[in-house]
Amino acid sequence: MGTHDLAGTDDFEHGHVPPPVIDHRAAPHDAPHDIFFAAVKTTRMPMIVTDPKRPDNPIIFCNEAFTFMTGYEEHEIVGSNCRFLQGPETDRDIIDQLRAAIAKREEIAVEVLNYRKNGSTFWNALFVSPVFDESGELLYFFGSQLDISRRREAEEALHEAQKMEAVGKLTGGIAHDFNNLLQVILGYVDILEAKIDASDRGARRAVDAIAMSANRGATLTQQLLAFARKQELRDRLLNFNQLIADFRPILDRTAGEGVTLRRQLDDHLWNCRIDPVQAEMALLNIIGNGRDALGGSGTITISTRNAVLPDDGAGASLKLQPGEYAAITIGDDGPGIDPTIVDKIFDPFFTTKEMGKGTGLGLAMVYGFMRQSGGLATAENQEGGGALFTLYFPRASGSSTERRSPVVQPQSRGGVERVLMVEDQIEVGELGQEMLRDLGYDVTLVNSARAALDVLAGDSDFKLLFTDILMPGGMNGVGLANAVKRDYPRTAVLLTTGFADEAIDEGARSYELIRKPYRRTELNERIRQVLDKPGART
């Protein structure tokens, strides 16, 4: 008789293949010449045989492939019921299905989480079949097994990637449109602020309230874009120890007065290439979560170390390419993470906070930023209590440089510098034109890249091209900037966007960029940086 591969169980489930029948009633080890047991013993597929006539249906035979898969010796296996492979995370419903099929003397094929002798888990594709003699008497139960852990992990990783991609596309699109709305709101807030009399406190409070709410909306959209991995990263080579040191006052304020923030930094930490602003936001989100978990009193510890995956045994190697990483851990001595939600902690909109106290996007933003940076964020509970978050950043070669604040040139309101503004959204374009004119610039507004090139063909005397990146019509802002740089090298370029993707990001890196929604003063500062700095792009 033959055995059957566990990957194809349709015939068994539909009853097309009858249970095996043998005519030898002796115990397996007493009948080595029997073709059935000879085949089972030599096959590379893990297999066992149990005796239902004995109490508790014990295993009476196992092959070497089974001992290799489970880590147990033959003498530890024979005489035991199969339940010794079960553990805390084994699905009890699956075990009940197995128990019911055995009671009915029926075949069954399931996938169950089992435990090896060393405590590690593996996914076991198990096929159990009764073995009858020629008279129909039940002799044994035969179980063939297969370690399918890699297949299950690949399926779970694919499912996770598909889920993140689907939600990412949705949130990225929402964030793009929302940023344009916020741009209009914040832009006219700035214009109103300039026109309201200082003595009109009621009007000023109203404008401040609008600005505060709009700024909160802008932060929310940045979290959406970070989760969707659609924000444009401006990465640079740095050492995370230096970032933690520079950011110390803000980190301490975020932790709060009742929380002690400790630092355990490896002096020989490897450099990495990341966006420092997004990295700081990730730290703030995790520390803020730790502060809330501690209830305002306790200890949060930030540690750095070098990690070589998969050799350091961190487990993150399952989702990261093997290699060298700078690892940053943020741990607290609070109650830890509920084990039932650990695998949901980075899901978008998932929060354990009360209504109105959390969007559920903070840790999702962290996860999206880490994946976009080529790294990974993990969350787990520490053995001594409390939660532990780890950020893995790929090691980068080269020497890091300290961050310097940009030097902003004095504001120019001479009205002699001409700006060609390109924006396809009418409301955003009209607002930008009014803001620039109020700042003293001579502005020409068009709504497409093609219209901008037509204007330049007849009049190329513009100091600055200020263009949105995402536009209809076949040419986006980066393509327009490239054309202007080639044909009108005396015209500087400033890009703006509320959204970006990898293809656009790569081309946009050659130009200065201001994110939507931007404020009036921020826009003028960025324009002055482009036009006034030595060696400005022209």
The residues pairing with 249 across neighbouring beta strands, listed in sequence order, are none
| pLDDT at res. 231 | 53
Q: Could you give the CA distance from residue 190 to residue 195 in angstroms, rounded to a whole number?
A: 9
What does pTM read for this prediction? 0.45
Which residue is associated with the tokens 């497409």?
448
Which tokens hold the place of 83?
């339940």
Q: What are phi and psi of 58, to 5 degrees?
A: -75, 160
* 46 close to 61: Cβ distance less than 8 angstroms: no
Q: What is the pLDDT of residues 180-232, one digit of tens each?
A: 788 888 888 888 887 888 788 888 888 888 888 777 777 666 666 655 555 55
For the sheet with 492-497, list strands across it.
442-446, 418-422, 464-468, 492-497, 512-515
Report pLDDT for 1: 35
| Of 12-21, 96-105, 334-343, 395-404, highest mean pLDDT | 96-105
Please list the residues that pair with 111 across neighbouring strands.
125
- Mean pLDDT, the chain, rounded, equals 78
Reduced DSSP (H G I as helix, E B as strand, rest coil) percent helix, strand, coil of the chain, to 5: 40, 20, 40
From CA 106, how far away is CA 15, in angstroms rounded? Answer: 10
Give 359's pLDDT tier (boundaries 50, 70, 90). Answer: very low
DSSP code string of 491-511: SEEEEEES---HHHHHHHTTS
Sign of the Cα torsion 439, 444, 445, 450 reads negative
- pLDDT band for position 484 (50/70/90)? very high
d(CA 191, CA 185): 10
pLDDT digits (tens, 9 = 90+) for 144-154: 999 988 888 77
Residue type for position 184:
V
Taking 60 as the threshold, does the pLDDT of residue 121 lie above it?
A: yes
- Whether the pLDDT of residue 287 is over 60: the answer is yes
pLDDT score of 32: 41
Tokens standing for residue 193 = 């602020």
